[in-house]
Amino acid sequence: MALRPLTPSEVCAAYLAAFATGIPDDVTAMVTDGFVNEHTAALGSGCTGKDEYERRVPGFLASMPGLRYDVEDITADGPSVYAAYTLHAHVNDRDIAVRGVMHFLVEGELVAKRTDYWDSLVFQRQTGMA
């Protein structure tokens, strides 16, 4: 029996779930070669291309022990997907919970673009940086 292809919502849910493994390859396997990672928050740092993303993800995961995205809601219109989430991690000896929304564009069963909307000040306050 052949498996059905993942829906765009399922692709994005799987991508977000991959962060909880703590394994960089689990995350980067879910993106296209031309992947665009965009952040709207002042503390965010975007990049273009899977190679650059692969270079950055290990450091990001190391800086956010216990990282997981709890998806609150996910909505798709074709390949365009919005996921409201709460990011949980342990940073600066503090447990943090930061809410945000990601907008994804999906190609096939891979994420081609991710735009992340979250509040830098909330992160800074929770981590003791502000």
In a domain, 2, yes or no: no
- Residues 64-109: tens digit of each pLDDT: 999 999 999 999 999 999 999 999 999 999 999 999 999 999 999 9
In a domain, 3, yes or no: no
Q: What is the pLDDT of residue 2?
A: 72
Residue of 8, 3, 30 lying closest to 17 (CA atoms): 30
- Residues 10-61: tens digit of each pLDDT: 999 999 999 999 999 999 999 999 999 999 999 999 999 999 999 999 999 9
In a domain, 97, yes or no: yes
Say how far apart CA 90 and CA 24 lie, in whole Å.
Answer: 18
Q: What is the pLDDT of residue 119?
A: 94
Name the domain count of the chain: 1
CATH (domain of 92): 3.10.450.50
Residue 24's domain comprises 8-127
Write the CB contacts of 113 (distance below 8 Å, at least 6 apart in sequence): 35, 36, 37, 38, 104, 105
Q: What is the pLDDT of residue 19?
A: 98
pTM above 0.75, yes or no: yes
pLDDT over threshold 90, residue 1: no
Q: What is the pLDDT of residue 90?
A: 97
Q: What is the pLDDT of residue 91?
A: 97
In a domain, 92, yes or no: yes
